[in-house]
A and B are shown apart, each in its own frame.
Chain A
Amino acid sequence: MAETVNQTQNFLKGIVKENPIFVMLLGMCPTLGVTSSASNGLGMGVATMFVLIMSNIVVSLVKNQIPSKVRIPAFIIIIASFVTIVEMILEAFVPFLYEQLGIFIPLIVVNCIILGRAEAFASKNNALSSLIDGLGMGLGFTLALTILGATREILGNGSLFGLKFVAENANTFILFILPPGAFIALAYLTVLFNKVTAKTAK
Chain B
Amino acid sequence: MSTVEIVHERPPGVRLLAARRSARHNLAVSAVVLVIAVLALFSIARNHRFQWGVVGSYLTTGAVLKGLLTTFWLTFLVVALGLVGGIVVALLRRSRVPAISWLAWLFTWFFRSVPMLVQIIFWFNFAALYPTLSFGIPGGPTFVSAPTNSVISPLVAVIIGFALHESAFMGEIIRAGLNSVPSGQWQAARSLGMTEGRLLRRVVLPQVIRVVLPTIGNEAISVMKETSLISVIAVTDLLYSVQLIYSVNFQTIPLLIVATIWYLAFTIVLGMLQWLLERRFGRSVRIAAPASRGAAA
A and B interact: no
User: Interface on A for B, CB 8 Å cutoff?
Assistant: none
